[in-house]
């Protein structure tokens, strides 16, 4: 098994960008400038660098995903969706 470290890093950067952009969108609707909210997140650079560094190994990882790794990635994707929905919800 190749592991799923690089795949998890790509999911982490996607989650960061989605959540931060959704938070910015919520206040005044979508504008291109809202995408910069993700760039200003404190851990954006570190997560982006980690995701880009392992990009060349991503295809091999995905081809070799086992059951437990698939379950782990499924949980991470679910957390991504839940975080995105939470960022879009209006405060109670």
pLDDT (tens digit per residue) in 62-80:
999 999 999 999 999 999 9
Other Cβ atoms within 10 Å of 67 Cβ, number: 7
Residue 4, C-beta contacts closer than 8 angstroms, at least 6 positions apart: 61, 65, 69, 72, 73
Q: For residues 77 and 41, give the distance between their C-alpha atoms in angstroms, rounded to a whole number.
A: 20
pLDDT (tens digit per residue) in 15-73:
988 888 888 787 777 777 777 777 888 888 888 898 899 888 889 999 999 999 999 99
Provide φ and ψ at 29, rounded to 5°. Answer: 80, 170
C-alpha distances out from residue 91 to 23, 26, 27, 33, 86, Å? 11, 10, 11, 22, 9
11 confidence band (pLDDT: 50, 70, 90): very high
pLDDT of residue 22: 84
DSSP secondary structure letter of residue 89: S
Q: For residues 38 and 24, give the distance between their C-alpha atoms in angstroms, rounded to a whole number.
A: 9
pTM reported for the whole predicted model: 0.79
């Amino acid at each position: 098994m190749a592991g799923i470290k690089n795949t998890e890093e790509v999911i982490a950067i996607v989650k960061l960008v989605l959540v931060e952009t959704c938070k910015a969108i919520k206040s005044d609707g979508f504008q291109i400038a809202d995408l910069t909210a993700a760039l200003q997140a404190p851990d954006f650079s570190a997560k982006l660098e980690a995701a880009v560094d392992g990009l060349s190994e991503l295809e091999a990882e995905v081809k070799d995903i086992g059951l437990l790794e698939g379950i782990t990635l499924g949980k991470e994707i679910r957390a991504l969706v839940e975080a995105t929905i939470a960022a879009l919800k209006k405060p109670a």
